[in-house]
Amino acid sequence: MDRIVVTPRSMTSPPHAALERLRRAGYEVVMPTPGEQPDERRLIGALAEAVGYLAGVEKVSRAVLEAAPRLRVISRNGVGIDNVDMEAARERGVQVMRAEGVNARGVAELTIAHMLAACRRMDFHHSTLKNHAWQRRKGIELNGRTVGIVGCGRIGRAVAELCLAFGMTVRAFDPYVDAGFRPAGNFGFVSLDELLQTADILSLHAPVPEDGVALLDAAAFARMKAGVMIVNTARFELLDAQAVRAALEDGTVAVLTLDAFQAEPPEDWSLIDHENVIATPHIGGFTVESVERVTQVSIENLLRVLSRQAEGG
């Protein structure tokens, strides 16, 4: 029986009912680390005989792909594929599929929640009140503030529309400008340099640059307004860890919020422990609706490729 390996945590703990569709199609379903992100060693062991791989955000290295001689398709349960060694996949004829747009709403709504939490310091007020201390910090309102959106794909566009509904000025940077996106309100595309200089809040929705260099490094922080808030619900690697830590210390960044990390769970908690960092454990697409959509689409993508290849297409 041909094997399909399933690793996304949202699908494996507990096992999503839709995975029965793979079994009904005649495949053995293997979940090597239910509820956990597999490391390279476990991936190599699980994929040795697999023809299909329903993948999460774990790193899919060349070593992993070279250890999977029968693998024909990787179906991501999301849009990002920067965790996959695409060159190695192409060399081995492994097709990589994305579940595009299915979790955009969930991530966009969490982004707004992060913005509100940062502006009103919900972390501080929650923890002090839970400790029976009555302390207050003055917040700011979103209305009238300028938000800079880095990456204006499906998620970025959804965030822009939500921010406009709050009465914000929205400026966006994307190397591929969608001229057809013209939401009602104070919206416009600008250069990254202008974005960094004018934003009160920066919201990141871009892939990691192909060269692997962080988009926000020390030079980028030097161009920002003092007291900027940064919301990162995309990829941690968009930030230079040392530079953002320095920017938090000198007040350039008033608050940093994170929903993505270099390792999950994190191996280094020092940034999360900073008093001006608000973090959530990668829950952007972890809603009832998003999980259902992404599961159905990623399974459909997987079966479609396997069926087409079985027919010689």
pLDDT digits (tens, 9 = 90+) for 135-160: 999 999 999 999 999 999 999 999 99
Binned at pLDDT 50, 70 and 90, residue 312 comes out as low
CATH number at residue 9: 3.40.50.720
Rounded-to-10 torsion of CA 77, 82, 88, 94: 20
pLDDT for 212 beyond 90: no
Binned at pLDDT 50, 70 and 90, residue 210 comes out as confident
Distance, in Å, from the CA atom of 214 to the CA atom of 12, rounded to the nearest integer, reads: 32
Host domain of residue 203: 104-279
Question: Looking at the DSSP assignment, which residues form a beta bridge with residue 4?
Answer: 29, 52
Structure-token pair, residue 257: 């919020």
Residues 94 and 116 in one domain: no
Domain count, the chain: 2
Residues 151 and 162 in one domain: yes
> pTM value?
0.89
Would you state the pLDDT for residue 242? 97
Catalytic entry in 36, 264, 292, 300? 264
264 is an active site residue: yes
Which pLDDT tens digit goes with each residue over 35-67? 999 999 999 999 999 999 999 999 999 999 999
16 is an active site residue: no
Distance, in Å, from the CA atom of 219 to the CA atom of 221, rounded to the nearest integer, reads: 6
Residues with Cβ within 8 Å of residue 207, at least 6 apart in sequence:
80, 82, 151, 234, 235
Structure-token pair, residue 161: 């529309």
Matching residue, tokens 């307004």: 225
Matching residue, tokens 């490729």: 305
Residues 259 and 157 in one domain: yes
Catalytic entry in 76, 145, 282, 293? 282
Residue 233 corresponds to which amino acid? T
Residues 191 and 236 in one domain: yes
235 is an active site residue: yes
Closest to 252 measured CA to CA, from 302, 294, 196? 196
Residues 71 and 144 in one domain: no
Residues 188 and 273 in one domain: yes
Residues 146 and 293 in one domain: no
Catalytic entry in 16, 121, 235, 293? 235
Residues 142 and 267 in one domain: yes
